[in-house]
Chains A and B, each alone.
Chain A
Amino acid sequence: MNPGDRVRVERAGVTNEGVLMPSTTADYLVIKRDGGYNVGIEREDAEVDVLETDVYDVGDEGEGEDSSVVEFDDDLPTIALISTGGTIASTVDYRTGAVTARFDAEDVLRAVPDLAGRANYRGRVVANILSENMTPEIWRDLAAAVHEEIEAGADGVVVMHGTDTMQYSAAALSFMLDTPVPIVFTGSQRSADRPSSDNVMNAVCAVEAAKSDAAEVMVCMHASESDDVCALHEGTRVRKSHTSRRDAFRTIGAKPLGEVDYDTETVSFRRDYAERGAATLDIAADLADDVELVKFTPGMDPAAWDYLEGKSGVVIEGTGLGHVHTDLIPRIEELVDDGAVVAMTSQCLEGRVCDRVYDTGRDLLDAGVVEAGDTLPETAKVKLMWVIANTDDPVGAMQRSLNGELTEQSRPWT
């Protein structure tokens, strides 16, 4: 008896006939009845007859193995679609949970047919992970892949990414690449296996953004709960701010850079952006892997900071204007004396740190803490990893904007 077999199960006077499903466990047989309902039957005292084996080829992708037959249209721009996993364009196999690794242009169009006719597509898989399993190693691979695609002539890049750590990856690529074309991250908050998934609109809007004139690293996700507009967030200023809503992503400290109207397919911007072609393609993908982001909370065991020993960089998510308990200041001083770059951000998220207002702050500055302005804590971590590996003056770099991550003026209404 194997998943995919047609079986008849009798238990306690009830007969169930149908296909044995892979969700079967040691205790329960799971049968898909002809009406479509799954039902779990206790194995104990169940009588099973296999009626027919392999009725359904459970586990294999149902589609044929035909090679891609999508035609290339010279009049359309070429967009590279790069997948790192996540749910947006993956063809999930419900039976095994496996996500197919095949990802050519045809797979993309099969997953999101609405993309057809908007561009020529080149599909590519960099990773096949849940985004919580993202690593700096994959950021390097991703940056290299994007670099290659642009070098090969892509007019824009769309990175399909799980939403949990999308903001970190977008920030990483912002620092690693000088790009002459748009690099647009997108994903979905509601899985692609439901008709209501936000994947279709997000993908369509991301492609439109990738065709636009803004050669920026951006995150393109729903702007509201409605399927009407996607927001374009700068990759270094964006944060996932809700666990489940479609409009989970927010630009912190300002309105989003721009938006894409799903209905009219128009892309518009609120602020200046780097224009297409202005930058020369370049890559600097090295990262210092020993950088930590630590959040200070009242009552925390100072021993929690012991593991920061020997790190090359530490980003602190302090309270308010950028504070920690006075007792921790000597520890910070030790770290700095040891050669670590210690940067201060705020758990307020909105607003910039300022350690000149209160005594604690002044003591922190004396201890050698670097103020990271209004850089978001998560972005600051990625930035510190990058500046330590790529600049001679990481302390100076943390205090100025490299890619829009640190604003000069606080204008949250813009």
Chain B
Amino acid sequence: MSEYDYEDLGLVAGLEIHQQLDTATKLYCQCPTARREPEEATRTFTRYLHPTKSELGEIDDAALEESRVDREFEYLAFDTTCLVEEDDEPPHHIDDEALDVGMQIAAMLDMSVVDQAHVMRKLVVDGSNTSGFQRTTLIGQEGQIETSEGPVGVEDLLLEEESAGRVEETDDGVRYSLDRLGIPLVEIGTKPDISSPEQAREAAERIGMLLRSTGKVKRGLGTIRQDVNVSIADGARVEMKGVQTLDDIEDLVRLEVQRQVELLEIRDELQARDASVGETQDVTDTFEGTESGVIEGALDGGKVTAVPLFGFDGLVGHELQPDRRLGTEFSDHAKRHGAGGIFHTDELPAYGVTQEEVDALKEAVGAGDDDAVAIAAADTETAELAIAAVKERAEAAIEGVPEETRGANDEATTRYLRPLPGAARMYPETDVPPVEPDPSEVEIPELLTERVDRYQAEFGLDAGLAEQVAFGRRMPLFEQAVADGIDATLAAGTLESTTTELRRDDVPVQNLTDDHLLDVLQLVDAGDLAKEGIVDVLTVLAENPDLSAEEAVEEAGLSGVDEAEVRAAVEEVVDRNEEQVEEQGMGAFSALMGEAMGALRGKADGEIVSSTLREEIQKRS
């Protein structure tokens, strides 16, 4: 990947961060925010959605396009969901706890909380909301965060309801799970103040840290989603969705800049060549008796459509991002209309398509040496829609970079998803009265970065462990353990390092509850379990989560080691190594210590073993 001068290119980027809140109840009902498995569903029902006019009398184009397909949505309901999620009961009042967390986040982002918050309905007709809209409320405005490359403005803070989780596509539509619907979600939108990939990452990291500092956000896969908006001076605003990790943000911005730069290069070349896009045509006859499996498969009842791309020769195969060419963009658009993809002459002959067929194709559509042709093979309707979409995208290539919404791929490249959403998707939620939030009682919590410093200063943890604990999921447990008088280093080491080691050894650490961990730490603190036995006891607990910590100690065979037993074991070791002890005296200590510990299998505290061993060696030497 080439390095660009981002300032020179006029890179402008912004972030949109969605974070689920970990509140006791959902945003508009009293159901818990617990996630469920589809198999646990207790009822199902099916619905259709019909688009409606917005408050200003307009129907959103994107929404209309979505709704053209008459799709049936099936919903899974649980013993943890109610009629509100089913859109069969009006929403209750906005959840106080979520509003409080929202105001806290606003304060941390240096934002003004609105005087009066109005709940809006944002039209969403893909079925992910049973109502056909998502309830969303602007609660904070005009904030700012610091980055090493300067401040980044925060445009707005929205408090919204999470959508229903998509379970799977069905024959008639989509199946959704209602457990996720209504979980409170904050959406934070920065201003387009970000001017480098590194700054994008840093800003996202900063916001993520602030959110986690509240201690009221959900953790784990899918609980935070980052969208990145990018444009360069001559390019266009592109919204990238579904960014999984912070590391990806940098690469995504880089690769999107590259994509826009390459598209502009293609544009310049196309304009220099006076390129144009011809009319779409049916070229089924050209491929009669073809040996291409893909095309042959479509010919049974379907057809092959083509669009001549005058002046495009060589440019359709032009690489925009690693392994993605202009042709790939065409393909994305064709796929949106149900086609498997397209072929284009820059990559043909290949895939069973012969040179003769390519020549015949070019002739059939009046394309010459400087031109390219794209084809789609599918059932009649799909083939027609797909090639029309390719035509439209090719025309846009002559103009430059189209504005659009893209989805992140695993390698930080992106694919076309849909046009940018329009603004006419919002109207007031008349079932929920406006609220006047009162931010006067809001307190800013200790930031996780501050916590890292404190853990080092107060508990003497090293920087790495302090950060691991502070940013870790078990931070509240660590705080509790320390408050209970447990040694901070022991607690930190057990909660972070030990659990990490166990996970690496495929121990089902996810089964360990906070109580398990705290009980084990307390047993160590009380002298009932040796530090060395922690790994074994936690392993037993992880594999038998129903056991108590005491039972696990017994199960691990680590209970009931008193001093006499330690001495007996140590004596046995010393006896066995009599010669060595006589020869080396205390010099034999470390070798024998290992042996003694092994013999006691972690049942005894290392310090007791070592002092006993010292005594025994002294006795014999």
Residues of A within 8 A of B (CB): 11-14, 16, 23, 28, 30, 32-42, 56, 62-63, 94-95, 114, 189-197, 200-201, 224-228, 243-246
Other 19 A-B pairs with CB < 8 A, given A37-B118, A192-B52, A194-B87: A14-B141, A23-B428, A28-B434, A32-B55, A32-B426, A35-B423, A36-B425, A37-B120, A37-B137, A38-B426, A38-B428, A41-B116, A42-B116, A95-B55, A195-B52, A197-B50, A224-B45, A226-B47, A227-B46
**Interface hits, B43-78 → A, CB 8 Å:** 45-53, 55-57, 67, 72
Q: List 30 A-B contacts (CB under 8 A).
A: A12-B112, A14-B112, A28-B434, A37-B118, A37-B158, A39-B138, A40-B114, A40-B115, A40-B118, A42-B115, A62-B57, A94-B427, A94-B428, A95-B55, A189-B88, A192-B52, A193-B52, A193-B430, A195-B49, A195-B50, A195-B52, A195-B67, A196-B47, A196-B131, A197-B50, A225-B86, A226-B45, A227-B72, A243-B89, A245-B89
Report yes or no: A40 in contact with B52, Cβ–Cβ below 8 A. no
Q: Which residues of A contact B112 (CB under 8 A)?
A: 12-14
Distance from B503 Cβ to chain A, minimum over Cβ atoms (Å): 43
CA distance A220 to B535 in the complex (A): 66
Which residue of the partner chain A has the closest CB to B70? A114
**Interface hits, B122-139 → A, CB 8 Å:** 122-123, 125, 130-133, 136-138
Report yes or no: A195 in contact with B133, Cβ–Cβ below 8 A. yes
CA distance A153 to B64 in the complex (A): 37
Q: Which residues of A contact B45 (CB under 8 A)?
A: 224-226
Q: Which residues of B contact A191 (CB under 8 A)?
A: 430
* Interface flag for B608 (CB, 8 Å): no
CA distance A43 to B122 in the complex (A): 26
* Interface flag for B587 (CB, 8 Å): no
CA distance A63 to B156 in the complex (A): 34
Of the listed residues A30, A62, A196, the one surrounded by the most CB atoms of chain B closer than 10 A to its CB is A196
Report yes or no: B83 in contact with A226, Cβ–Cβ below 8 A. no
Report yes or no: B425 in contact with A40, Cβ–Cβ below 8 A. no
Chain A interface, >50% SS class? loop
CA distance A243 to B90 in the complex (A): 10
Distance from B154 Cβ to chain A, minimum over Cβ atoms (Å): 12
Report yes or no: A11 in contact with B51, Cβ–Cβ below 8 A. no
CA distance A30 to B117 in the complex (A): 10
Report yes or no: B424 in contact with A195, Cβ–Cβ below 8 A. no
CA distance A195 to B126 in the complex (A): 10
CA distance A228 to B427 in the complex (A): 28
Known contacts A200-B50, A225-B45: A40-B90 contact under CB 8 Å: no
Distance from B612 Cβ to chain A, minimum over Cβ atoms (Å): 71
Q: Which residues of A contact B57 (CB under 8 A)?
A: 62-63
Interface 1/0s, chain B 474-501, versus A by CB < 8 A? 0000000000000000000000000000
CA distance A305 to B402 in the complex (A): 75
CA distance A62 to B428 in the complex (A): 18
Q: Which residues of A contact B424 (CB under 8 A)?
A: 36
Report yes or no: B115 in contact with A41, Cβ–Cβ below 8 A. yes
Distance from B65 Cβ to chain A, minimum over Cβ atoms (Å): 14
* Interface flag for B142 (CB, 8 Å): yes
* Interface flag for B391 (CB, 8 Å): no
How many chain B residues touch the partner (CB < 8 A)? Answer: 51
Distance from A93 Cβ to chain B, minimum over Cβ atoms (Å): 9
Which residue of the partner chain B has the closest CB to A62? B57
Distance from B119 Cβ to chain A, minimum over Cβ atoms (Å): 9
CA distance A233 to B527 in the complex (A): 74
CA distance A195 to B427 in the complex (A): 12
Q: Which residues of B contact A200 (CB under 8 A)?
A: 48, 50
Chain B interface, >50% SS class? loop
Query: Which one of B52, B72, B83, B120 contacts A245 once the chains associate, using CB atoms below 8 Å?
Result: B83
Distance from B425 Cβ to chain A, minimum over Cβ atoms (Å): 6
Report yes or no: A14 in contact with B142, Cβ–Cβ below 8 A. yes
Q: Which residues of A contact B55 (CB under 8 A)?
A: 32, 94-95
Report yes or no: A194 in contact with B131, Cβ–Cβ below 8 A. yes
Q: Which residues of B contact A11 (CB under 8 A)?
A: 115
CA distance A192 to B121 in the complex (A): 14
Distance from B428 Cβ to chain A, minimum over Cβ atoms (Å): 6
Q: Which residues of B contact A244 (CB under 8 A)?
A: 83, 88-90
Report yes or no: B122 in contact with A36, Cβ–Cβ below 8 A. yes
Interface 1/0s, chain B 72-98, versus A by CB < 8 A? 100000000001001111100000000
Closest 7 A/B residue pairs (Cβ): A40-B116, A195-B132, A36-B426, A62-B57, A38-B118, A37-B138, A195-B49
Report yes or no: B131 in contact with A195, Cβ–Cβ below 8 A. yes
CA distance A201 to B117 in the complex (A): 34
Distance from A26 Cβ to chain B, minimum over Cβ atoms (Å): 12
Which residue of the partner chain A has the closest CB to B435? A40
Q: Which residues of B contact A40 (CB under 8 A)?
A: 114-118, 434, 436
Q: Which residues of A contact B56 (CB under 8 A)?
A: 32, 56, 62
Q: Which residues of B contact A16 (CB under 8 A)?
A: 141
Which residue of the partner chain A has the closest CB to B172? A263
Which residue of the partner chain B has the closest CB to A63? B57
Report yes or no: A28 in contact with B88, Cβ–Cβ below 8 A. no
CA distance A190 to B430 in the complex (A): 12
Which residue of the partner chain A has the closest CB to B47? A227
Q: Which residues of A contact B434 (CB under 8 A)?
A: 28, 40
CA distance A168 to B45 in the complex (A): 30
Query: Which one of B52, B72, B137, B142 contacts A194 once the chains associate, using CB atoms below 8 Å?
Result: B52
Distance from A327 Cβ to chain B, minimum over Cβ atoms (Å): 41
Which residue of the partner chain A has the closest CB to B129? A196
Q: Which residues of B contact A201 (CB under 8 A)?
A: 48
CA distance A269 to B90 in the complex (A): 33
Report yes or no: A227 in contact with B48, Cβ–Cβ below 8 A. yes
Report yes or no: B423 in contact with A34, Cβ–Cβ below 8 A. yes
Known contacts A28-B116, A35-B423, A95-B55: A195-B88 contact under CB 8 Å: no
Which residue of the partner chain A has the closest CB to B49? A195
Which residue of the partner chain A has the closest CB to B422? A36
Q: Which residues of A contact B89 (CB under 8 A)?
A: 243-245
Of the listed residues B47, B49, B86, B131, the one surrounded by the most CB atoms of chain A closer than 10 A to its CB is B47
Distance from B72 Cβ to chain A, minimum over Cβ atoms (Å): 8
CA distance A200 to B90 in the complex (A): 19
**Interface hits, B391-448 → A, CB 8 Å:** 423-428, 430, 434, 436
Known contacts A11-B115, A195-B52: A226-B46 contact under CB 8 Å: yes
Q: Which residues of A contact B123 (CB under 8 A)?
A: 195
